[in-house]
Structure 1
């Protein structure tokens, strides 16, 4: 891939077990559960290279500067080709797949899609497309956008809340410095949230694990964040008879929608 970066990591079983414990999972075997690759391939940046939000500054590495101050993980698509083995070296190659500028209800938006390919033992294991959205700071008098409402015709696979400790652990394991997950003052005063935000990838991770438990080994998974879920809120993870999945908040809002395929 043009302008690609490549990272190599040993798939340390202890790190995977730490995530499993954090998520309330049983002990894992020698193959990595789906999406656990998020806790590997760290690419640390020195403090001077971080932006105000705790992310690495845009315009360095492969991340482009879209001219907007805020960014977040908006969704993604994954293809699972062959299991990643724990305790063995793997390689991740990343590159920008596409970029776009659009006009939203609250102003300009920038979209970047990254492609990540994970190889191990000369085989492609995972292909991932990661969608990132850039946006402006909220105006002081801005009204929150009205979130979509979740379906109510599915099976609830799990209900739980996430504490600030849960968010800290996931941030630490994924080496994610975004302050919306641990800095309450920053959440409220800069990015306009009412509380600490549950990581979109954490919600997607829970959906993937629940989908695999209910349906069997996944071949692909697609998800899109539609509204923030906040720490302490009672959240439901749901599966429809048509294979669709979603996450709903305590007020019935849809926080994420997804499709799992086996």
Structure 2
């Protein structure tokens, strides 16, 4: 397997900017442990415009194979936390493509890719992340939309969260995510068939992780799976029952499920 390695300085200012975007006020100093999943803010992969696909992501064909399917979605992931990532200290991200396959689904051909990321700092493994991506064909305007599952209604704790196009833009900028469904309304609606700007799956997962840590304490593992897109104009409910967490849309549909 080909391994890709990237080094980055875990800049406290970037983590602090994300806290501000989330409405948090805590300062971030060199040596501070970062909250879980904040490594998403680092290890950018900048590419020149000629190397980008129409959706704003880097073209596939390198680490991620080209399966001829243009629409990309972050379907879910799993994380194992070994030790906190510390601000202000250099770190390394090691990535391999652990699995790839293509099969036919009810809505047409689907491509599945699993990337495994390891984040190392000062010679020690901080966390391992398995990132599940799905690729599919373009949406057909007259095709019936799948009915999303309904969320559980037995939450012990619920946190309501509102999103704005500004928050989505800031998260895209802080993670260097060029996917146009998160900031280009015309593209999201007219090309990919969404009803609005799509809230990033990793942003929903991030909010669930922060809720889980607040409610349950430090995380050792976390897994999540996206089940229905959430639009930027919708209020979401972050729900928890025991170690099960989920995101419900304003109509009660299930947008994401997770386990801490």
Report the TM-score when normalising by structure 2. Answer: 0.97
Which residue is equivalent to 1:252?
252
Cα offset, 1:232, TM superposition: 1.4
Distance in 2, matches of 1:163 and 1:208, equals: 20
Q: CA deviation at 1:102?
A: 2.1
List gaps (5 residues or longer) in structure 2. none
Check whether the contact 1:207–1:237 (CA below 8 A) recurs between aligned residues.
yes
Give CA deviations for 1:154-185 in whole Å, capped at 9, x if unaligned.
Answer: 13431011100000000000000000001111
Q: Hey, what does 1:50 align to over in structure 2?
A: 52
Per the alignment, residue 42 of structure 2 pairs with 40
2:240 maps to which residue? 239
Higher mean alpha-carbon deviation, 19-28 vs 128-137, is at 19-28
Question: How far apart are the structure 2 equivalents of 1:201 and 1:28?
Answer: 23
Following TM superposition, by how much is the alpha carbon of 1:75 offset from its aligned partner in structure 2, in angstroms? 0.2
Shift of 1:28: 4.8
User: Equivalences for 1:149-160 in 2 at 5 Å?
Assistant: 149-160=150-161
- Superposition pairs of residues 69-148 of structure 1, within 5 angstroms: 69-148=70-149
How many residues align structurally?
257
5 Å-filtered alignment, 1:183-202, equals 183-202=184-203
Any idea what SS the aligned residue of 1:258 has? strand
- CA distance in 2: counterparts of 1:156 and 1:148, whole angstroms: 20
Matching residue of 1:17: 16
Unpaired stretches in structure 1, ≥5 consecutive residues: none
Displacement over 4 Å in runs of 4+: none
**In the alignment, what sits opposite 1:171?**
172
1:3 aligns with 2:2: yes
- 1:108 Cα deviation after fit: 0.8
Residues 75-109 of structure 1: per-residue CA shift (max 9 Å, x gap): 00000001111000000001100012122111110
Q: How far apart are the structure 2 equivalents of 1:100 and 1:28?
A: 43
Whole-Å separation in 2 of the counterparts to 1:43 and 1:193: 26
CA contact (8 A) 1:156 1:236 kept: no
TM-score if structure 1 supplies the norm length?
0.96
- Alpha-carbon distance, 1:24 to partner: 1.7
Distance 1:249 1:103 in 2: 28
Secondary structure class of the residue paired with 1:217: coil
The residue number in structure 1 matching 2:163 is: 162
Q: Structure 1: how far apart are the matches of 2:16 and 2:38? A: 10
